[in-house]
Amino acid sequence: MLMQQSIDEIARKAYVQYPKERIVGLYCGFKKVVLLRDPDIIRYIITKDFKHFISRGVRTNEEGFCDSLLLAEGDKWKSLRKKLTPAFTSTKLKHMTPLIEECIDKLITEAENRIDQGNPCNIKDLCEKYSLDVICSCVFGLNMDVYSNEIKHFGKVSKAATQPSIFYWFWYVAEMILPGIQRKFTKINPGSYVRSFFMKLVTTVINEREIRGIKRNDLMNIMIELKARDKLEAVGNSPLEVRIDDHIIASQACAFYVAGQETSSSILSFLLYELSLHPNIQDIVYEEICYVCDLYNGELTYESLKKLKYLYMVFQETMRKHSAVGFLIRKATSDYIIPETEITIKADTFVLISLTGLHTDAKYFQDPETFNPANFSEENMTKIPQYAYMPFGAGPRNCIGKNHCYLSLCVAFSPQTPFAHLRCGTVTAEPQ
């Protein structure tokens, strides 16, 4: 309530504090929260008995973005997920690769400019702008000059989402104490800036494409096609089915931006940070990239990415040591008795799973503070219990963008990019 600790930190502390327990109880304001520590129990909640835990229970203003995949509940979520899943198939992602390559060209120019000036190059800043460029291009269909000031609105939106002001604090604590109050005072919702920003952006893009008949291999195009199909087939009239319109598209675009930009950029910068601390690992990554490129005539194609096995291990280890999302959350939709126990999770109770806790638990990862990609070798992978490592969540509500995230990261390592050439001695590790 005093904003001294994030939910991630609170969940991790509780995870560490009770090493012998499978389930721990916490309070959030006056509400009871259940923290699950045991991968077998997690499996029941996340996958096997998912129907009782279909929602995240994260509230927002009804008129706002509660229609996004991230926050939608029940049948609305089911319908949205069914419609949007085909947007992330490997064929669709393959078609998006050229868009990501364009972002790489801009990244190279920017990095070269900065290096030519002889100044230290802030990698985190570069990663943030690169990820923003990828999301703008693949989600909104915008070709932006992210390395200039053109992104100030996105910056403001990110800040609103990641560094809440005192007004946000007041808004959320009020909801904690008086559930439902946010819906009564929608006009003063501090998130309305975010909503109107995305709504305006998305309607402009949609209008322009519809009027000029522009087609592009991006998520916006896929959603515009879904909108047209819903109109033609007159589907979506059933109360269980969501009809895709501009508001729904804006909600998804916002969700993809919020869920995809910060996560991808933080994983990319932590990965580079770890490589700078471990020149031996950096050398193996570099040699693997060169080897795979040679196999594919000097290019890193969509097909060749699967051959970058060591880079994938490094990626997995980065997400273990530096969780981009520190916890998973679900809300019970009905009373539920946890199998093999006598504990009932009452309807409306929140369930927390500390990914940071699980991923740094010595029970599952030997010497968890050490960065060791070998944790994810074929042999060692079999030793990790299934629900003890899940950086993208798990079950039907897992991350829809996980392959997109890995694709944008791999392309960032194509041989022309400065990242692929970062060798020991040229990268200094000074995290900020």
User: Which spans of this chain sit near ligand HEM (rule: CB under 6 A)?
Assistant: 69-70, 81, 255-256, 259-260, 263-264, 267, 319, 324-325, 328, 391-394, 397-401, 404-405
300 vs 399 by CB, closer to ligand HEM: 399
Q: State in angstroms the smallest separation of the CB of 81 from ligand HEM.
A: 5
Q: Return d(Cα 173, Cα 330) in angstroms, integer.
A: 20
For residues 36 and 56, the answer to whether their CB atoms sit within 8 Å is no
For 194, 196, 224, 237, 400, the CA distances from 244, given in Å and listed in that order, are: 20, 18, 8, 11, 18
Q: How far is the CB of 207 from ligand HEM (least distance, A)?
A: 23
Residue partners of 242: CB distance under 8 A and separation at least 6? 67, 76, 79, 80, 83, 236, 248
The smaller minimum CB distance to ligand HEM, of residues 324 and 411, is found at: 324
Per-residue burial over 139-173, b = 16 or more CB atoms within 10 Å of its CB, e = otherwise: bbbbebebbeeebeebeebbebbeeeeeebeebbe
CB of 65 to ligand HEM, least distance (A): 11
Q: Are 133 and 144 in contact (CB under 8 A)?
A: yes
Nearer to ligand HEM, 260 or 373 (CB): 260
Is 410 labelled a binding residue?
A: no
269 or 293: CB nearest ligand HEM: 269
CB contact at 8 A, 244 and 230: yes
Q: How far is the CB of 274 from ligand HEM (least distance, A)?
A: 14
Of 358 and 422, CB closest to ligand HEM: 358
Do the beta carbons of residue 194 and residue 161 sit within 8 Å? yes
Shortest distance, position 267 Cβ to ligand HEM, whole Å: 4
User: Two tokens at 351?
Assistant: 């369930």
Q: How far is the CB of 419 from ligand HEM (least distance, A)?
A: 16
Q: Is 226:244 a contact under the CB 8 Å cutoff?
A: yes
- Residue 293 or 321: the one with the smaller Cβ distance to ligand HEM is 321
Residue 250: count other Cβ atoms within 10 Å of its Cβ: 25
Given the complex with ligand HEM, which of 395 and 418 has the nearer CB atom? Answer: 395
Residue (of 391, 374, 380) closest to 314 by Cα position: 374
CB of 154: closest distance to ligand HEM in angstroms?
Answer: 15
Whether the CB-CB separation of 375 and 34 falls below 8 Å is answered with: no
- Give burial (CB, 10 Å; 0-12/13-18/19+) of 342: exposed
Which residues, 6 or more positions from 398, have their beta carbon under 8 angstroms from its beta carbon? 390, 392
- Show binding-site residues: 399
- Show binding-site residues for heme: 399
